[in-house]
Amino acid sequence: MEMTAEALVETVERRTARVAVLGQGYIGLPLSLLLASSGYSVVGYDVNKSLVRRLERGDLPIEEKGLSDLLEEAGERYTPTGDPSALEESDVFIVAVPTPRSNGGADLSYVWSALREVAERARPPFGVVVESTLPPGAFRRMIDRSLGGAGLLGRDFLAAYCPERAMPGRLVRELVENPRVIGAYDGKSARMAELLYRSFSKGDITITTPEVAEVVKLVENTFRDVNIALANEVARICDALGVSAREVIEIANKHPRVNLLIPGIGVGGSCLTKDPVFLASSAEEAGYSPKVVESSRVLNEDMPFYALRIILDSLSRTGNGRKRVAVLGVTYKGGVGDHRESPVEPIVRGLLSRGVEVVVYDPRTEETFGGKRAESLEEALNGADLVLIGADHPEFKTREFRRELSRLPRGTVVFDGKWALDPREVEAMGLVYVSVGMIERLNSVLSRESERVQISSL
């Protein structure tokens, strides 16, 4: 007797369903291990053969708290593979592949490819869940076109959209604890997906339509992008007015209805830089031009270049000869090794294009964006005319770090791109603290130096 869609849902509930996760990156890998640790037999499929070989050796490609424990707990229930034929015995397929930005919209080629693989390998009845971020309307369109030939929805296959909502650096914790939204075609599809995620998730699960789920995911990250843009705008206003943005934001946030975020050198990562673009482009296709979303993205994308201008201005006042900049941290945020869309990249490349020597030290990644890699903090700081804090890694908040920083020559500029340091501590070392929203400190120091020169010449 052939299995029915109802029976498929029962296998998911009993955790006897065989699950295939297509894509073993930042979301697909921890998701695979969570499902395997929950009792499912999981095939982790990826087209990257070198990645698969690493996983087969038990060598995790990303550093995330709790991930190695999950790998050990999953044991033989997790099988990494690059062989698409290994998908053929699976009952449920989860698509967790990238959807990068392309020409102002979404590049859905990886999702199309994954769904074609499912259509070719799956045997009805089967379930499909897409985790990849999609623009509104894409899920329904892609499922209809790629799986329509597989049979009838609700009878031959089930389909749901469950966008990831986890942040690198806290992936395992957030996959387990964050609330989830499931956009489903029908009740059976919703039930299948809910049972699957309930096997490891402690957060609330909301069932809605695929279109609502698509917009929810984009709005969440757009909210962050817009609020960061407001903080960056405040910082630039304060720079123009010659007041401290740090003091302004600190005092303003004492108001119970104000919660300004921290400004910086820009927004990075694979989500915040693209999701507002997906939302805006979808709105424009529907006939509405979103002003706030688009202007926020423009401002945030300009922040690395604004920071670069401040850095170059600072270097121009440090005397003659070739300048040397120590860049500490190139990842898009602190505590992770992910450098995708890092705002540090255009700063480094901009400095290099102007003949500045750039030395990079990052304990989390080997990426340098063309700069020279330093093997130690001491090596990076040696001979630096300016120090750029590009990522607020925990390693840059230790007593040992402050000790190394204090050995810099008096008057060395420290550009804090993440507001990671205490300006008073830096200045107590005899250094010049500068950041977005606080260039008045540089101007103040230079003004005092100018006064000394004038007095000494009398």
Q: What is the CATH number of the domain that holds 38?
A: 3.40.50.720
- Rg, the chain, Cα only: 25
Residue 225 contacts residue 297 (beta carbons within 8 Å): yes
Quick one: pLDDT at residue 444? 58
The catalytically annotated residue of 162, 188, 271, 323 is 271
Rounded distance, CA 4 to CA 273, Å? Answer: 42
Q: Are 215 and 90 in the same domain?
A: no
Rounded distance, CA 270 to CA 105, Å? Answer: 14
Q: Are 196 and 220 in the same domain?
A: no
Quick one: pLDDT at residue 457? 36
Out of 149, 174, 208, pick the residue that ends a domain: 208
Q: Is 217 a catalytic residue?
A: yes
Rounded distance, CA 214 to CA 132, Å? Answer: 10
Q: Are 316 and 363 in the same domain?
A: yes
Task: Please name which of 47, 145, 130 lies closest in space to residue 92, comparing C-alpha atoms.
Answer: 130
CA distances from 161 to 27, 127, 164, 393, 437 (A): 15, 11, 10, 34, 41
Q: Are 245 and 190 in the same domain?
A: no
Q: Are 115 and 43 in the same domain?
A: yes
Range of the domain at 98: 5-208
Out of 184, 208, 232, pick the residue that ends a domain: 208
Burial 370-391 (b: 16+ CB within 10 A, else e): ebeebeebeebbeebbbbbbbb
* 55 three-class SS: helix
Q: Where are the extended beta strands (E) located within 320-445? A: 324-328, 357-361, 372-373, 386-389, 413-416, 432-434
Quick one: pLDDT at residue 168? 86
The catalytically annotated residue of 162, 188, 217, 418 is 217
Q: Are 299 and 400 in the same domain?
A: yes
Q: Are 247 and 184 in the same domain?
A: no
Rounded distance, CA 12 to CA 19, Å? Answer: 9
Q: Are 346 and 421 in the same domain?
A: yes
Q: Are 54 and 188 in the same domain?
A: yes
Q: Are 246 and 134 in the same domain?
A: no
* 329 three-class SS: coil
Q: Are 201 and 220 in the same domain?
A: no
Q: DSSP alpha helices (H): ranges in 75-137?
A: 109-121
Q: Are 153 and 239 in the same domain?
A: no
pTM of the model: 0.91
Rounded distance, CA 311 to CA 387, Å? Answer: 9
Q: Is 238 a catalytic residue?
A: no
* Domain total in the chain: 2
Could you list the pLDDT tens digit for every one of the 458 residues in the chain?
A: 578 999 999 999 999 999 999 999 999 999 999 999 999 999 999 999 999 999 999 999 998 999 999 999 999 999 999 999 999 999 999 999 999 988 777 899 999 999 999 999 999 999 999 999 999 999 999 999 999 866 788 889 999 999 998 888 899 999 999 999 999 989 999 999 999 999 999 999 999 999 999 999 999 999 999 999 999 999 999 999 999 999 999 999 999 999 999 999 999 988 889 999 999 999 999 999 999 999 999 999 999 999 999 999 999 987 777 899 999 999 999 999 999 999 999 999 999 999 999 999 999 999 999 999 999 999 999 999 999 999 999 999 999 999 999 999 999 999 999 999 999 999 999 999 999 999 876 665 554 544 433 333 33
Task: Please name which of 99, 183, 111, 182 lies closest in space to residue 147, comparing C-alpha atoms.
Answer: 111
Quick one: pLDDT at residue 167? 87
Task: Please name which of 66, 62, 79 lies closest in space to residue 18, comparing C-alpha atoms.
Answer: 79
Quick one: pLDDT at residue 43? 98
Quick one: pLDDT at residue 445? 56
* 167 three-class SS: coil
Out of 188, 208, 228, pick the residue that ends a domain: 208
DSSP labels, 403-443 = HHHHTSPTT-EEEETTS-S-HHHHHHTTPEEE-TT-THHHH
